[in-house]
Structure 1
Amino acid sequence: MSASAPSFVLPRPFLKWAGGKTRLIGQYQPYFPENFKTYYEPFLGGGAVFFYLAQQHPCLQAVLTDINPELINAYCCVRDKVEELIELLDEHQSEHGKDNKEYYYWVRSRSYKTDTEKAARLIYLNRTCYNGLYRENSKGEFNVPIGRYKNPNICQKDLLRSVSSLLTSAQIEVRKFDEILNFASTSEDFVYFDPPYYPISATSNFTAYSRDNFQESEQIKLRDVFAELAERGVKVMLSNSNCDFIKAIYSDSQAFKRVPIPKQIEISASRGINSNSCKRGKVKELLICSVEIDT
């Protein structure tokens, strides 16, 4: 009997990611610019905004970057080696079903050699770890415990193939966020920043996605990059915490003395990760948008 043809699945994030924007797209949509040629996302994560925009703009040129080499490697392998990746994920799916806890911690402790093996490890851990959280210890080691899933969908073949097709023309690289200044330069460029959020409580850093914490000085540096891009006429959007510090730095007339102060829009979001379960639920976040200069 011949194998059934793969079903078509709309491309969407293939990784679970803390702070992912899939559920917020409807609130963001009114603020996305209509006219642009190249889309940049310097904090890629799960890529929800990219997947949405790529379907709205079929000829979209996309430059997707992040400082996390494991994440970028996974995207590149989905784009370039999806069938090989699927074979490895099938193996993980099978082995996880035999003794999920022992197998999870064995995979988590291993170092793999090839890019595809590393990508399969990341996707496997992402689909089976606690809340899909990516977190590293001070040594750069993934240290999230196993999640409580009865039958996790580790190998989403149709989704991976769909994503692979969409990523074919995307430029995907490891870069620091400020390197965007070497590329985005005109009103035909659109940049969306989704940085690690400014912590609003002592436990907020639980969602940190790398061993390099995004300190207050980095938030100010990002604000300055935002202002420079806006001055060039680049269309810029940024997500962050709804707190006095973020509101203040994006209202600073000295930082935005050559361009209008950005718009600040409150977004209603769900927080699913907090060490205190009572603090999970609806919260307000900020969506900050550059204002185009009339010419």
Structure 2
Amino acid sequence: MLLKTTNMAKPRPFLKWAGGKNRLIQQYENYFPQTFTTYYEPFLGGGAVFFYLSQQRLPLSAVLSDINQELINVYCCLKNDPEQVILFLSEHQQKHSPEYYYQVRSNSEGSIFQKAARIIYLNKTCFNGLYRENAKGEFNVPLGRYKNPKICDPALLRSVSAALENVYLESRSFQDVVHYAKGSNDFVYFDPPYHPVSSTSNFTAYSRYSFNRAEQVNLRNVFVSLASRGVKVMLSNSDCPFIRELYHGFSIHTVSASRVINSNAKKRGRITEVLITSY
């Protein structure tokens, strides 16, 4: 059942996010389970899969989480009071300039709604929409080269708020999903930082928390634990021998993707990724 949107934009990702799945949804479509009651997404990011499913199922009961507390605050504020976020974001739109960007980047103080608007503003104006923190947890991406960025989109943010109505949001580790998803009525989608396919693509942390080889193994163990209970589990990752071996025995599907973030433009282009399902 499609989400009714009278005078409202359809809900979709409102943040740019490295590794976002917006362009891959059409390839994922046939792999989503036909039936489930509750959807879980422990690496929320831009939420492309959630927003897609929210248009297909009304209402969509979901548990969305991420270790990034700043990110979860944005979602919580939009769910609870989108008008407050829109108000502060409109101010950023009016004041935007290179000097203003760095002033905002260096100041993380304010109410929860001011902090939410700050993250959206920085995301819309920083280089490549990349979220990156230093060891202190401070956002440190430089200003992007945009002539007229669309910083505030009230219609979209209101539609996001409506889509989040039946959603539980929390900042926590992906491993905690084992305490919530229990059986065949649950569907869990994992979209972790991808395992690097080469020494030059070793970017596995969007926050101060790295996601290394050991974490990939921990994630596989969580995947196995959930699958053993009958939970429907789907996971995306890079197409490389390490990941294929980790999930040997499960259904491994190949999808085609675009590499859009690379300092060398010549190295951007088509690559393959894997989509792994327990069902």
Taking structure 1 as the reference length, the TM-score comes to 0.91
Q: Which amino acid aligns with 1:211?
A: R
C-alpha deviation, 1:207, in angstroms: 6.1
On the 8 A contact 2:189/2:235 being kept in 1, the answer is: yes
Q: Which residue of 2 aligns with 1:190?
A: 187
Q: Cα deviations across residues 169-188 of structure 1 (Å, max 9, x unaligned)? A: 10010110010010101100
Q: Which residue of 1 aligns with 2:8?
A: 8
Q: Which amino acid aligns with 1:183?
A: Y
SS of 1:237's partner is: strand
Q: How does 1:222-237 map to 2 (within 5 A)?
A: 222-237=219-234
The one of 112, 119, 144 equivalent to 2:109 is 112
Q: Which residue of 1 aligns with 2:3?
A: none
SS of 2:114's partner is: helix
On the 8 A contact 2:59/2:166 being kept in 1, the answer is: no
SS of 1:229's partner is: helix
C-alpha deviation, 1:41, in angstroms: 0.1
C-alpha deviation, 1:113, in angstroms: 2.4
Q: Which residue of 1 aligns with 2:52?
A: 52
The one of 231, 254, 279 equivalent to 2:267 is 279
On the 8 A contact 2:21/2:48 being kept in 1, the answer is: yes
On the 8 A contact 2:196/2:238 being kept in 1, the answer is: yes
C-alpha deviation, 1:8, in angstroms: 1.9
Q: Which residue of 2 aligns with 1:138?
A: 135
Aligned positions, number = 274
Q: Which residue of 2 aligns with 1:256?
A: none
Q: How does 1:68-83 map to 2 (within 5 A)?
A: 68-83=68-83
Q: Distance between the aligned counterparts of 2:45 and 2:114, measured in 1? A: 20
Q: Cα deviations across residues 91-123 of structure 1 (Å, max 9, x unaligned)? A: 000000xxx111111100012221101101000
Q: Which residue of 2 aligns with 1:28?
A: 28
C-alpha deviation, 1:211, in angstroms: 1.4
Q: Distance between the aligned counterparts of 1:44 and 1:133, measured in 2? A: 15
1:179 aligns with 2:161: no
Gaps (5+ residues) in structure 1?
A: 1-5, 252-260
Cα RMSD (Å): 1.1
Q: Which residue of 2 aligns with 1:210?
A: 207
Q: Distance between the aligned counterparts of 2:74 and 2:160, measured in 1? A: 12
Gaps (5+ residues) in structure 2?
A: 1-5
SS of 1:203's partner is: helix
SS of 1:13's partner is: coil
The one of 241, 246, 251 equivalent to 1:263 is 251
SS of 1:11's partner is: coil
| Percent identity between the two aligned chains | 62
C-alpha deviation, 1:7, in angstroms: 3.8
C-alpha deviation, 1:205, in angstroms: 3.4
On the 8 A contact 2:196/2:204 being kept in 1, the answer is: no
1:289 aligns with 2:277: yes
Q: Distance between the aligned counterparts of 1:269 and 1:234, measured in 2? A: 27
Runs (4+) of structure 1 moved beyond 4 Å? Answer: none
Q: Distance between the aligned counterparts of 1:278 and 1:208, measured in 2? A: 23
Q: Distance between the aligned counterparts of 2:188 and 2:246, measured in 1? A: 19
Q: Cα deviations across residues 274-294 of structure 1 (Å, max 9, x unaligned)? A: 122211111100000103xxx
Q: Distance between the aligned counterparts of 1:213 and 1:276, measured in 2? A: 23
Q: Cα deviations across residues 21-40 of structure 1 (Å, max 9, x unaligned)? A: 01100000000001000000
